[in-house]
A and B are shown apart, each in its own frame.
Chain A
């Protein structure tokens, strides 16, 4: 089986004003795999994945040095179209943020602005497929016109996942998607992630090491803005090379 590198960061340095948040990050993400990023709070994991879909552009004082390549092309090249990039790289946030619209409108928003659907039937189909892939269809198929905010926390997050899927991305970034959810909802989402990896490349930031073990194939350990160690999940958790990694996963800090 060919392991293709989907995303590669080279000497990535990120500054918030004067403060440096990431130091020389060199990390490769493999296609159709789930890569977990772990580490204590404030170590830069969220900053890193927000670089991949250039969400940090929204923050005025954020400065990026270095390269991130997707499919061999640097996404920080001057003439990169950010809008198209974000069609290919979707994001699910820590706190579920459905739009104050109906469930249907939440999911069809993305396809509509990108002009993916040609007819209303196409749109209906996309909505149905996305909701099915997000394992939410059966629960909402009879109430698509109700507001997305009327769902429970876990359902809302699956709605956000359906929304991310609806534009047919290649990569899905997940920033601690389960931290605001209860264990049962969490389990459902972890199940979902496992299915999704066959179609998408997934990068997940997580606080929970057990989640990383359950869900990912590759893990990177961040600490204070530096990538301390990266490798297969099995290796990182059973046999880490770096002492700090060892300390973290045994709960000595963080």
Chain B
């Protein structure tokens, strides 16, 4: 091989090597792009729901109300029969089976929607109004184009008769898409059309709140001790080794800890955000201690010495001077740690936050799920209606994470002093 040939070969190798790097970075980015595209394309439709507009005639006699009805009379109305009656009027038929199919096009909660509407607007007595009832999940998915129409009837979720009704409604502009408030206010449900992440969001909120309240003070004080006061001896080394180890323990082991000790020994209530929060706090502790220590270390000794020189005690110099200066880094580390805790699923699974919880939790002692667990549960479901909800939940979860991480980065950049 001549000198020139060899040189050429070396330069080609150089170019190839450079390209490996670019391709690697692109592959990583491509994955993120694919994920985001899938989630966005599937999830946006979950934020709207299909509704069917029907006429409700709140006739006093039809509702079996006396002349001058009082509140108890109103609450005692049989809204189920009333609603069915009104629904059947939209597409009359004499066939019992066909009536059932018509009713199945509406959400299973139809009576409650009518009830809530009427009790909030009792002045509508003896009037006829148009009201939009949430459609059933099958009709919702059909309307959003997720069901194939041209396969044989026995393989479809919508029967031919129901398709006829659907087309009729479409022609009369009875079917509209509205913003799906249920997605944010309701808890989980077997019926996709009324299932929401309200319960999961509150569950996550309470867990993270408990986690923050427990882990932040303890982590801050521990970091202050290790950085400022701890003598250099075996005991301190032992503590540091423990903290570094805990930071690398798989999260599922914390779930086992929660199950074994918090639930089994301390008999705390299962499936609650309280236990979830405590488990997450134990996991988040080292993740706050480490950046907090780094921030404390970054404060120059001259600040401490200046405080001592004015006659402050060591404790005072630390509390009044060093800790405030280390706050930006500590807070951003805390927010990032909380963001990681928000996305954790495995430990919460083991302490039972995976139960099917319909009631939106009112406090940390109520059983609840969390956003990531909701994603897990819905992704396992076979129903088509949950597919878009899973992606939408991911969107909400990622949204929170983006906000939290951005705040952390912004806070660090804006408030951190650059020591020269």
Contact = CB atoms under 8 A, between A and B. Distances in A.
Interface of A: 81, 83-84, 113-115
A81 B7 contact: yes
Interface string B1-42: 101001100110000000000000000000000000000000
A81 B8 CA distance: 11
A113 B10 contact: yes
The B contact surface, by secondary structure, is: helix
Contacts of B3: 115
Interface size class of B (residues with CB under 8 A): under 10
Contacts of B11: 83
Nearest to A114: B6
The A contact surface, by secondary structure, is: helix
Contacts of A114: 6
Contacts, number: 10
A84 B3 CA distance: 10
A5 B6 CA distance: 30
Nearest to A118: B1
A84 B7 CA distance: 8
Contacts of B6: 114-115
A115 B8 CA distance: 12
B23 to A, nearest CB: 24
A135 B7 CA distance: 31
Contacts of B10: 83, 113
A216 to B, nearest CB: 33
B31 to A, nearest CB: 31
A81 B11 CA distance: 10
Nearest to A84: B7
| Residue among A81, A114, A115 with most chain B CB within 10 A | A115
A115 B6 CA distance: 8
A115 B11 CA distance: 14
Given A115-B1, A115-B6, 8 more contacts: A81-B7, A83-B7, A83-B10, A83-B11, A84-B7, A113-B10, A114-B6, A115-B3
A113 B6 CA distance: 9
Contacts of A81: 7
Contacts of B1: 115
A23 B6 CA distance: 38
B373 to A, nearest CB: 49
A114 B2 CA distance: 11
A99 B7 CA distance: 23
A145 to B, nearest CB: 27
Contacts of A83: 7, 10-11
B298 to A, nearest CB: 28
10 contacts: A81-B7, A83-B7, A83-B10, A83-B11, A84-B7, A113-B10, A114-B6, A115-B1, A115-B3, A115-B6
Nearest to B9: A115
A83 B11 CA distance: 10
5 shortest A-B CB distances, which residue pairs?
A: A115-B6, A83-B7, A84-B7, A81-B7, A115-B1
A83 B13 CA distance: 14
A114 B1 CA distance: 11
B11 to A, nearest CB: 8
A83 B6 CA distance: 12
Interface in B200-217: none
